[in-house]
Every structure is written in C-alpha cells, then in structure tokens.
Amino acid sequence: MKKFDVIIIGAGPAGMMTAIRAADRKRNVLLIERNNILGRKLLISGKGRCNLTNSCDIEDFLEKFSESRDFLRNAFARFFNTDLMSFFEDAGVKLKTERGGRVFPKSDKSDDILSVLRSKLKNKNIKILSGERVREVVVKDKKIAGVLMYSGKLFLTRCAAIATGGLSYPETGSTGDGYKIAETLGHKIVPSRPALSPIIIKERFVRDWQGISLRNIRLTLFSGGKRVDERFGEMLFTHFGLSGPSVLDISASIYDELKLKNDVEISINFKPALDHKKLDARLLREFNTNPRKSIKNIFKNILPQGTITRFLEYCGIPGNKNASQVTAEERKKLTNGLFDLRLTVEGVMPAKDGIVTRGGVNTKEIDPKTMESRLIKGLFFSGEIIDIDAKTGGYNMQAAFSTGWVCGDNI
C-alpha cells in the first residue's frame, strides 16, 4: 500500500491542472486515468483545434453558463482566461483569438496544449497510473482514507479529487464512473441531460442538405407556438437534422421544452441582416435583371446551391419557372421562406453525443472557494463532473481549468 498526499481520479484538463497545481505546492501526487493515454477528450475538442478559452470579460463569460454561474465566480476570480493563456504561452505555445473571442493554439493543434500539460506532469514528478479503473474511494469517519482499484491495489491518502468528466463522448473515458463514486459517498447527483447536442428534425428533406453549413443565420425556437429562445451564428445540416454552434447552444432549451410535451419548432432565418422590404427589393431586382433565367438559377446568388431545389419546393414555387413569370404573391412566399423556414423538432441527441453534460455533482454540496466536498473532509471535485455547463466558445474548457486550478490550490 503506497501513500500519497493527493490522489486525483481522471486525467482530463481539470484533473491534469489539479495535479499540476497540487505539485506546485509540494504535494506528493498520484494521477489515475482509466485510459492508456491522458487527455483523450482534450485532443478532439474544438474539432481537434482545442478552443482553450474565450477573451471576453468575466461578466460576459459568466452569462454563458446556466445555473452554475454563481458557483464559478470565485474560481474565475482566482484563475481566469488571461491566467490560462499565460500558462500556455509561457510554456512556448503561441495562441490566437478568433471571431467571437474564441482562443486557439496558433498551430490549430490540440496536441500542442496536451504536450504542455504532459510535460509539466513529468517535470513535477507526478506519479501517473494509466489503464486502470477506480473501484472505490475509501472513507473512514467522514474523512478520505484511500483509493481502491479494480485490480485490488489500494493507495492511501487523506485527499482525493474526482475529475472524471461527465457522460459526453464516452469513448474518451467519460462513462459516469465519477457520478457513481460520488453518489456512493453521499453526494446528490443532478440528473444528466443533453447540453450542446445536435437536434433531430422531422422533415426529411433537410437530410438532402447533409454537410451544408450556413453562417450568419438566426435560429428561433418556438414552443407551443410561442417564441422562447433565439441564437445567431453558424449551423450545419446533418443526416438526422441540425448541428453547429448555434444549434448546439440552443439545444438545452429545446430539450427542456420537449420535456414539457410541447410542440417544438425551429425557424431558420437565412437573411437576418435584411428586413422584408429590403429582401423583396433584392429579389425583384434579381428577377428584373434576369427575366429569362429560371428561379433556381437566380437563387444560386442567394442560397447554397445544394439547398435550392428543396427550398423552392418548401415555398411551393417551381424551380424551372422563369423570373419574369413570378407573381408578387410567389415573391412573398420566397421572402417568407428565407426569413422563416420552419422545421419540426423530434428530439435532441443524447448526452453521450453532446459536447458537454448538463448535470453532475450538486454545486450546493461543494465549497466554491476550495472545490472541497461539504460532506466529506478531503474529498474534492473539479471539471465537468460538477453540475456546470455553458455555451460553445471556450467557456467549458476554461471552467475545467479554473476549477482544476482552485482544487489543486487547496487540496
């Protein structure tokens, strides 16, 4: 039986940061990872580019989170975006800030971020146990006593941090082990729900648009005929429906409305920068300039080519009709379709297919100043296992690193 000052379960961004910060404080650290390699989920984040954080100020940052925003205020005050950027830049990684304040490594390679973390773990002599799974966190008299592995190994410690992530991308190791351990120890787990998940659309014609992405569109969510949410940005058509940043950001609201048994629709506004009058004038100009052209050919200047046929069918306008033959009423149908292409939502993809998980260890049972359990002395949490989630844009990754840093600073 080996003894460590600190044992951390889970070697994702939160777990690795917890280990690094604890080692900075001269703690003897054991980092346990059930996968054979560390940081598998980090490698695929941001489509392999790793959207590290966001450059916006703390108030705007917190607004991107759900009910967890107040819990995270202290963690962000202690270790925020500029601190995280300096952490990697000082280690030689050049960063860049893109549209919407999203921060990436300049190389567009998430492996550059992971390499820094691995290097720091090695240089600080942190003991790493990979390819093994934790069976139990041992508690005596409401205090941490050790960690028992499925292999039968028992490691003694007075402090343990659970940083096993949520349920998204289970192939990376996020299979809910941490939830089970925390629940066994008496913690309340907020049920997991999809967050930042693609959505399933009833209308089959959108499947013909698979792979087509749109920028600068507006999505509006209608539930029971009432407007309940809205997003502006990018989206992607898939073989089952919709995905992309704007869709992911609105998916939590969609899930909640579907749970209420409401009829849920999503409206796509292809031209949100225009109003009806300006768009009608543009269509009229296009038709008058090209009277002998078919509508489907004229619409090549208005929509992605792969969407035109189905879009005109949706509007009830023959694509081979010449522009000179289009009536004012048909032009109105086209403008209405461009401003409000209405689709029926059948569902939201499950939590495992989302980017992050809503739900996890109840924040009321964790001290936000230390990340220590309020129930068991020496038990800590960091990262996505906590009931924290935000929109896309680097916010969730920052939360993982920030809670990891605070956890490591107090464990």
Each residue's pLDDT tens digit, 202-256: 999 999 999 999 999 999 999 999 999 999 999 999 999 999 999 999 999 999 9
Where a domain ends, among 300, 332, 349? 349
- pLDDT tops 60 at residue 173: no
Mean per-residue pLDDT for 8-21?
Answer: 97
Strands, DSSP E only, in 34-81? 53-54
pLDDT at 174: 63
- Identify whether residues 393 and 328 lie together within a single domain: no
Query: Full-prediction pTM beyond 0.85?
Result: yes
pLDDT at 172: 61
Closest CA to 194 of 240, 265, 234, 247: 247
- Identify whether residues 381 and 237 lie together within a single domain: no
**CATH number reported for the structural domain that contains residue 174 in this entry:** 3.50.50.60
Say how far apart CA 104 and CA 390 lie, in whole Å: 18
Say how far apart CA 409 and CA 24 lie, in whole Å: 9
Collapsing DSSP to helix, strand or coil, 54 comes out as strand
Per the prediction, the chain carries an average pLDDT of 95
pLDDT at 168: 67
Say how far apart CA 399 and CA 397 lie, in whole Å: 5
- Identify whether residues 142 and 17 lie together within a single domain: yes
pLDDT at 333: 96
- Identify whether residues 103 and 35 lie together within a single domain: yes
- Partnered with residue 232 across adjacent β-strands are 218
Tokens, residue 331: 């032009």
pLDDT at 356: 85
Say how far apart CA 223 and CA 215 lie, in whole Å: 24
Where a domain ends, among 349, 367, 397? 349
- Identify whether residues 397 and 273 lie together within a single domain: no
Helix axes 81-89, 395-410, angle to 10 degrees: 80
Mean per-residue pLDDT for 53-63?
Answer: 97
**CATH number reported for the structural domain that contains residue 211 in this entry:** 1.10.8.50
- Identify whether residues 149 and 277 lie together within a single domain: no
> Is residue 220 within 8 Å of residue 246, measured between CB atoms?
no
Q: How many domains does the chain have?
A: 2
Q: How many CA atoms lie within 13 A of 355 on its CB side?
A: 30
Closest CA to 191 of 246, 248, 249, 256: 256
- Identify whether residues 291 and 179 lie together within a single domain: no
pLDDT at 308: 97
pLDDT at 89: 98
Check residues 353 and 171 and name the one with the higher pLDDT: 353
- Identify whether residues 97 and 149 lie together within a single domain: yes
Closest CA to 351 of 196, 159, 211: 196
Q: Which band of pLDDT confidence, cut at 50, 70 and 90, is reported for residue 52?
A: very high
Residue 218 to residues 49, 245, 267, 273, 374, Cα–Cα distance (Å): 25, 12, 8, 9, 43
pLDDT at 357: 84
Among 11-20, 161-170, 337-346, 389-398, name the one with the lowest average pLDDT: 161-170
pLDDT at 355: 79
**145-156 residue pLDDT tens:** 999 999 999 999
pLDDT at 166: 81
Where a domain ends, among 334, 349, 364? 349
Taking the alpha carbons of 120, 126, 131, 135 in that order, is the dihedral positive or negative? negative
Closest CA to 312 of 297, 291, 325, 327: 297
pLDDT at 254: 95
**381-406 residue pLDDT tens:** 999 999 999 999 999 999 999 999 99
Pairing of strands 29-33, 160-162: unpaired
- pLDDT tops 80 at residue 354: no
Closest CA to 379 of 166, 161, 137, 135: 161
Mean per-residue pLDDT for 267-280?
Answer: 96
> Is residue 360 within 8 Å of residue 385, measured between CB atoms?
yes
- Identify whether residues 299 and 316 lie together within a single domain: yes
Neighbours of 409 (CB within 10 A): 16
- pLDDT tops 60 at residue 69: yes
Burial 352-364 (b: 16+ CB within 10 A, else e): bbbbbbbbbbbbe
**284-307 residue pLDDT tens:** 999 999 999 999 999 999 999 999
pLDDT at 351: 75
- pLDDT tops 80 at residue 175: no
Closest CA to 76 of 401, 409, 384: 401
Closest CA to 88 of 61, 71, 111, 70: 111
Mean per-residue pLDDT for 33-41?
Answer: 91
- Identify whether residues 342 and 367 lie together within a single domain: no
- pLDDT tops 80 at residue 9: yes
Say how far apart CA 104 and CA 97 lie, in whole Å: 6
- Identify whether residues 32 and 140 lie together within a single domain: yes
Radius of gyration over every alpha carbon of the chain, rounded to an integer in angstroms: 25
- Identify whether residues 212 and 183 lie together within a single domain: no
Burial 304-319 (b: 16+ CB within 10 A, else e): eeebbebbbebbebeb
Question: 186 lies in which domain range?
Answer: 2-194+356-410
Mean per-residue pLDDT for 87-110?
Answer: 97
**177-210 residue pLDDT tens:** 999 999 999 999 999 888 899 999 999 999 999 9
Mean per-residue pLDDT for 126-133?
Answer: 97
- pLDDT tops 70 at residue 115: yes
- pLDDT tops 70 at residue 55: yes
